[in-house]
Amino acid sequence: MNQSVEERLCLACGFCCDGTLFTRVRLQSEDSVESLKSAELRVQQDDHGDWIMQQPCSGYRQDACQTYHCRPARCGLFRCTLLRYVEAEEVSEAEALSVIRDTKQTRNQLITELEKVFPGFQKKAMAEILHRLRKESRKLAGERLKLFRAARSTINQLKNKLSSQLDAFFYVQNTPFHDPAQNDGLNVPKSMNKQGDA
């Protein structure tokens, strides 16, 4: 079966499913909590009683959504800035793939640096990783503090680079979905809901 450009890009990317962009997906009235639970997606109620699905999404495996048949409504609606650029023919497929590759490289380098000081980080959403970094870096002592001090400048550079890449090409700016109030001060939104077009 021939894949569309969009499918090829999303297969190469996965940022809106693997926790790079979002920490959760807010469920809608048309979503079936039971179906999502049976598909072993991590759904739960938040502090306000609203249903959410946590990210990294457990349905994202082998670089693709394995629960496409019952994915939440908002998953089908979200279109990142990069896809919009490609659709408008402002960015070619090759350029878009290169953006995805570069951004992935930055994210992976950041996680590798963080793993040296805070093992186990890579299983969380990026915003949670950065939140934990802020919290735990204050409590470090001894060898781990030394390790952190040595890595801090690289971590900050990578964090800023990733933030710029995500802002430029993936978060949809100037829409109700990009909420600077939820920024955690590290320029990566702390708790964004995966949402679609207005």
Footprint on this chain of ligand SF4 (rule: CB under 6 A): 9-10, 13-17, 25, 57, 59-60, 65, 67, 71-72, 75, 78-80, 82-83, 170
Strand order in the sheet with 51-54: 24-26, 51-54, 43-45
What is the smallest separation between the CB atom of 196 and ligand SF4, expressed in angstroms? 10
Of 85 and 144, nearer to ligand SF4 (C-beta) is: 85
Of 73 and 140, nearer to ligand SF4 (C-beta) is: 73
Of 65 and 186, nearer to ligand SF4 (C-beta) is: 65
CA nearest neighbour of 193 among 3, 22, 59: 22
- Burial group, residue 129, by CB count within 10 angstroms (0-12, 13-18, 19+): buried
Print burial letters for 3-40: b (CB count within 10 Å at least 16), e (below 16). Answer: eeeeeebbeebbbbbbbbbbbbbbbeeebeeeebeebe
What is the smallest separation between the CB atom of 15 and ligand SF4, expressed in angstroms? 4
Of 108 and 156, nearer to ligand SF4 (C-beta) is: 108
What is the smallest separation between the CB atom of 16 and ligand SF4, expressed in angstroms? 3
What is the smallest separation between the CB atom of 43 and ligand SF4, expressed in angstroms? 10
Name the DSSP class of 74. H
What is the smallest separation between the CB atom of 137 and ligand SF4, expressed in angstroms? 28
Of 31 and 113, nearer to ligand SF4 (C-beta) is: 31
180 to 53, 166, 189: CA distances (angstroms): 22, 14, 7
